[in-house]
């Protein structure tokens, strides 16, 4: 069979399940352990001499299907599924860094990623420097003799800053650094970091990959060698592995990823253009807008701008709270990529692990609001925002 389009791969994956009963949907292997035909077979599997499953923390057919499908979508050799998005972040870092190593991280990141890097890694002797990775000179200057890894998001959560993947990969290779990109906001259908030379790609599968707000999970994609290290060290011994049921739900969600993303992107573009015309909005952060610096990467690095918008109100903190509270269709909740439109205040919610000074350095103001545009009719979303603007005008 000829190479399939990614939209098709989301539905069929690398191969169809070989089910003896002819089930259209791959079965859920909801089991903690697997039996052996003999003691010799069990010993051979533990020794790695015979393929097969042993224990679900070490591997499961349902989980394996998800891993193979997402690895294929990301143009990678393999993937490891984790219990949460932070499980994927921590596994990708702890598997390759040791005491005395140095990590370069983007100055703006998801709040818990920032907290893990800023507050936990130094406890284990891993040095972390946060830099503006859109500034090539600042990035190059921050590299040290003990730097081993570069970690970033693009677009960055929540500022929607777009980073140049070709540049990051080039600098990483020049200095023999492992490059890691969190691709949660765009998914492999809108951006493939591997095609630009990135080593490891991380996802919070909670978001668009699942798309239904009923799972927390993560994935990290890379070479077979890298994924083997992740699975047989951090995931095996620390244990942040995904449950088979959650893997099954994400496999189900992936079947509609392409059509969902098309709607998310189209509606987000319309909402961003509406917000840009509002007198009470100081600035809109969305790469789909010509006014956004990241717009230059659409068609080159990104197929589209995604479904997340950030915007800054020209209002007081109290007015911002009133604005969020007055929305009815937009649900006040953290996360993104769900069918529902979600609205939240990063400074007091997802990015609260940052101090006020750290938020300022990362470009996260107290007036910033993040909107994950859902699958509702876009006119209903805009009308809901109009009511909220009226409440503070």
If you search the block for the tokens 């995931």, which residue do you land on? 235
Give the Cα separation of 101 and 277 in Å (integer): 47
Torsional sign, CA 342, 306, 184, 16:
positive
DSSP 302: B
Active site residue 55: no
Residue of 57, 283, 303, 326 marked active site: 57
Residue of 182, 199, 246, 338 marked active site: 182
389 contacts 319 by C-beta, under 8 angstroms = no
- Closest Cα to residue 333, out of 374, 365, 304? 374
Active site residue 110: yes
Give the number of residues written for the chain.
393
Tokens, residue 238: 């620390």
Tokens, residue 340: 């529902």
- Closest Cα to residue 281, out of 252, 304, 250, 309? 309
Active site residue 57: yes
End-to-end CA distance of the chain: 59
345 contacts 365 by C-beta, under 8 angstroms = no
- Closest Cα to residue 347, out of 393, 313, 379, 296? 313
Residue of 207, 231, 359, 370 marked active site: 207
Residue of 45, 69, 101, 110 marked active site: 110
310 contacts 342 by C-beta, under 8 angstroms = no
CA angle 161, 163, 166 (to 5 degrees): 165
Residue 83: how many other CB atoms lie within 10 Å:
18
Strand positions, DSSP E, the chain: 78-82, 102-106, 127-131, 147-153, 178-182, 200-204, 218-222, 281-285, 308-313, 331-332, 342-344, 368-372
DSSP 32: S
CA angle 124, 128, 132 (to 5 degrees): 165
385 contacts 343 by C-beta, under 8 angstroms = no
Put the strands of the sheet holding 368-372 in their side by side order.
281-285, 308-313, 368-372, 342-344, 331-332
Active site residue 182: yes
Active-site residue set: 57, 110, 182, 207
């Amino acid at each position: 069979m000829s190479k399939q389009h990614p939209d098709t791969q989301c539905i069929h994956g690398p191969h169809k399940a070989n089910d003896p009963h002819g089930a259209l949907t791959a079965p859920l292997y909801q089991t903690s352990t697997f039996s052996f035909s003999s003691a010799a077979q069990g010993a051979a599997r533990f020794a790695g001499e015979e393929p097969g499953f042993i224990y679900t923390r070490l591997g499961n057919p349902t989980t394996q299907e998800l891993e193979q499908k997402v690895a294929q979508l990301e143009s990678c050799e393999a993937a490891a599924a984790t219990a949460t998005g932070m499980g994927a972040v921590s596994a990708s870092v702890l598997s390759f860094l040791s005491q005395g190593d140095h990590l370069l991280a983007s100055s703006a990141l998801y709040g818990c990623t920032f907290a893990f890097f800023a507050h936990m890694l130094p406890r284990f002797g891993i040095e972390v420097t946060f830099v503006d990775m859109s500034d090539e000179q600042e990035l190059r200057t921050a590299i040290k003799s003990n730097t081993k890894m570069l970690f970033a998001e693009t677009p960055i959560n929540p500022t929607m800053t777009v980073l140049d993947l070709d540049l990051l990969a080039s600098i990483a290779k020049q200095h023999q650094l492992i490059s890691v990109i969190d691709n949660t906001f765009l998914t492999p259908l809108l951006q493939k970091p591997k095609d630009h030379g990135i080593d490891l790609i991380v996802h919070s599968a909670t978001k668009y990959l699942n798309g239904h707000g009923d799972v927390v999970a993560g994935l990290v994609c890379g070479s077979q060698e890298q994924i083997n290290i992740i699975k047989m060290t951090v995931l095996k011994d620390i244990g942040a592995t995904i449950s088979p049921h959650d893997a099954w739900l994400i496999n189900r969600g992936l079947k509609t990823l392409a059509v969902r993303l098309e709607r998310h992107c189209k509606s987000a573009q319309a909402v961003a253009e509406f917000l840009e015309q509002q007198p009470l909005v100081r600035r809109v952060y969305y790469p789909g807008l010509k006014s956004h610096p990241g717009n230059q990467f659409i068609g080159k690095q990104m197929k589209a701008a995604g479904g997340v918008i950030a915007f800054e109100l020209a209002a007081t903190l109290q007015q911002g709270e009133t604005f969020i509270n007055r929305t009815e269709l937009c649900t006040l909740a953290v996360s993104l990529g769900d069918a529902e439109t979600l609205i939240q205040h990063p400074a007091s919610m997802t990015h609260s692990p940052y101090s006020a000074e750290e938020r300022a350095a990362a470009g996260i103001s107290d007036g910033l609001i993040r909107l994950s545009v859902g699958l509702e009719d876009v006119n209903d979303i805009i009308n809901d925002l109009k009511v909220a603007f009226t409440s503070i005008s």
